[in-house]
Structure 1
């Protein structure tokens, strides 16, 4: 009898403890990973409602360029920081969006590397998830849009450019992403190269005056005395708008110092991490299967921080950030403060070219992407040449979208700093998309989408609420 009473008392006490326990800790947990070329981010979330409970950051996670043993270490480190040891037994699903990974075929190298590394990392941490999924970083970014959409269009515009049609949360069609040598028109590299070309054309007389000559020359180390507006006065006093555009990467397109990171998650410009399929680019940007690019370069114009960033969208021409509007000229009076033709002697022009050309050639071509913020800055101050460059870039971004034959009202999920809330091409492209009845939904990265995919992998309903 006494034993029965003791057992009943124990059951009552257990029920009371269970009722008092933090309900979040009793739920199933999921982990979402965004593995790019410069860092790997892990997010721990509730499988029930997607609420973020923890996060961790570690080193690069490009599935093609990071050796599998090192990739395993980085994944294990990020997940360990996100998931307390006491909670690891409750992780039921893990999903990762990897630069350099895709699911175009069962034996796709990047996908196999990512899956092998992720499986080993989870085993090391004692996480026996029922569902472990791998996708590309672009697929994860697409799923980061509100409601975790299954179908639609994705547009990446960072160091490079690529557009995709997503069906059932997998890439069905890819347009662009051919790398800086063969494509990626309108991306950060293309804009930076256009700035140098404009500077050289001004120097040899083929082009009109532009403050880009000063800004580009300064960024590439041209002596002050050879700059077109330098004369004998301090540099800042000579610019028509009162000061330099700033060092390359100012304002950045990737939130980590600008496109000059050269962008992107991999530091050489690619969410695929220096990536792409050949290690030189990225299926997502300046890269593509053979390029050297980045979407992220361009991860986002966010100011940094390791926490997940919520999607921001839709972004329209009317609601886009002031930086974009200024770049398009929409928020300024209808006048242009063109710089006057400087007294730039033939000797100084020759000296300018003599210093500029070797400086450009001394670095990998993709590094020109770091000059893209200078064009945005000059356009904000109504430099006609800079504004023309951005207008042409927006025209180029429209081309891959049109090639995907978008349907009116179809969702376009955009990522990359050129199209972020303060991206220089946001308003310009949004205006062009109006003719197709399309708007942009911008997302910062793939963490939120990876969490959504993990929840779906666990058999949950399509997420409808924010996870960050």
Structure 2
């Protein structure tokens, strides 16, 4: 580090975690080099209490910025779930700014150049070239789309929270996983690998699970993690090992052509069928078998016991913790589980409708982020298929940290 350089801090405060990065204030706008990083708990400005939010911000920034150099921080920008850049009195913005100011004061960071944006505004600013106008879609724990003008959010679609909306986001997917497990257990729904996977995730005894439990499954083909985190992190690669969307000639933006659409299984198609005698057939992809609907394998008493365990396991947690189950769905879908694949298709349809509500213009840029849509996210290709006819250029970005740093550099430069 240059001992005389100025620094900026960019913060991405989402529904699952708060992440801070330290960068050179005087580097080029597109310079992604990171000097320090820190991670802490959730940072949603509306759902996390003020004391907790302050603590999480202080913890993340303290890890990112060396104590001896905190006087060199020239600007701090935070992109917060539950907040917006305007109006000034917007409740989430006011709460985020108060918590951020308190956290910086606690750490002895005295810069007056402190700004609060929404997480979607920060993510949008992270696209190549730091665009000022266009569309953005965040699909992590929640789901919201926005129109950005002059780097400020001017219209939104979705983002109504887990109780009233966020259709297609991580909470919605996790809840669908639990519902599919319950429906399979009492006979309302089709057999699915999600039954055992959800049960194991919630700590249900193996003796109650179909086939004694199907396990978490194999890693991805490249040896990396097999699932994505809903609020950022590693995601599964497509089955063919290639990119989810075709890179454009001038950067990571992408359009999906008609020829690149992937074939979908027919409605109700089952990739794995129980063999004679109630025994299941292993998945063609090498994963565990899909539990068959055969009472000789999963007796009625065990089905009832499964439900008796699952319901209190869900009810004893904060409702939003259902989002923890979301990564199980792409994992099961990668094994050709028809129920899981249908959940992902429905999620992509919800996200596409959220974008379409903003009246996209042909050729307009759409910046997407969140664990479900970040580069190689499990919903990136299905979403591109759904939006094909709108002729949008889709640019995935990992999260809002790069954009928050870009906005902090603009703040230092007085722009």
Q: TM-score, normalised by structure 1?
A: 0.68
Please name the residue that 2:71 is paired with.
88
Compared with structure 1, are the counterparts of its residues 116 and 395 closer, same or farther at alpha carbon in structure 2 (3 Å cutoff)?
closer
Structure 2 unaligned runs (5+)? Answer: 219-224, 237-250, 274-289
Is 1:41 the counterpart of 2:24 in the alignment?
no
Compared with structure 1, are the counterparts of its residues 396 and 118 closer, same or farther at alpha carbon in structure 2 (3 Å cutoff)?
closer
Checking the alignment, whether the CA contact within 8 Å between 1:35 and 1:137 is kept in structure 2 is yes
Checking the alignment, whether the CA contact within 8 Å between 1:300 and 1:415 is kept in structure 2 is no
Alignment of 1:440-455 (within 5 A): 440-455=394-409
3-state DSSP of counterpart to 1:451: helix
Q: Deviations over 1:39-92 (max 9, x none)?
A: 341313132425446224264555453536972894487268526645835x54
Is 1:253 the counterpart of 2:233 in the alignment?
no
Please name the residue that 1:356 is paired with.
310
Checking the alignment, whether the CA contact within 8 Å between 2:38 and 2:63 is kept in structure 1 is no
Q: 1:417 & 1:29 partners in 2: Cα distance?
A: 28
Q: 1:160: Cα distance to partner?
A: 1.8
Q: 2:71 & 2:86 partners in 1: Cα distance?
A: 31
Is 1:417 the counterpart of 2:371 in the alignment?
yes
Is 1:31 the counterpart of 2:9 in the alignment?
yes
Structure 1 unaligned runs (5+)? Answer: 1-21, 237-242, 255-296, 304-311, 319-323, 462-468
Q: 2:102 & 2:216 partners in 1: Cα distance?
A: 50
Q: Aligned match of 1:185 in 140, 161, 167?
A: 167
Checking the alignment, whether the CA contact within 8 Å between 1:56 and 1:80 is kept in structure 2 is yes
3-state DSSP of counterpart to 1:96: strand
Compared with structure 1, are the counterparts of its residues 123 and 182 closer, same or farther at alpha carbon in structure 2 (3 Å cutoff)?
closer
Alignment of 1:105-120 (within 5 A): 105-119=87-101
Q: 1:244 & 1:115 partners in 2: Cα distance?
A: 41
Checking the alignment, whether the CA contact within 8 Å between 2:209 and 2:302 is kept in structure 1 is yes
Alignment of 1:279-298 (within 5 A): 297-298=230-231
Is 1:378 the counterpart of 2:313 in the alignment?
no
Please name the residue that 1:365 is paired with.
319
Q: Which has more helix, going by share of residues?
A: 1
Q: 1:73 & 1:345 partners in 2: Cα distance?
A: 47
3-state DSSP of counterpart to 1:31: strand
Please name the residue that 2:271 is paired with.
336
Checking the alignment, whether the CA contact within 8 Å between 1:42 and 1:79 is kept in structure 2 is no
Is 1:300 the counterpart of 2:233 in the alignment?
yes
Q: 1:182: Cα distance to partner?
A: 1.8
Compared with structure 1, are the counterparts of its residues 153 and 197 closer, same or farther at alpha carbon in structure 2 (3 Å cutoff)?
same
Checking the alignment, whether the CA contact within 8 Å between 1:315 and 1:421 is kept in structure 2 is no
Checking the alignment, whether the CA contact within 8 Å between 1:63 and 1:71 is kept in structure 2 is no
Q: 1:53 & 1:359 partners in 2: Cα distance?
A: 40
Checking the alignment, whether the CA contact within 8 Å between 1:222 and 1:355 is kept in structure 2 is yes
Q: Aligned match of 1:225 in 182, 200, 207?
A: 207
Checking the alignment, whether the CA contact within 8 Å between 1:130 and 1:458 is kept in structure 2 is no
User: Which has the larger Rg?
Assistant: 1
Compared with structure 1, are the counterparts of its residues 384 and 459 closer, same or farther at alpha carbon in structure 2 (3 Å cutoff)?
same
Q: Deviations over 1:411-445 (max 9, x none)?
A: 11111111123322121111112221124222222
Q: 2:56 & 2:174 partners in 1: Cα distance?
A: 35
Q: 1:244 & 1:302 partners in 2: Cα distance?
A: 15
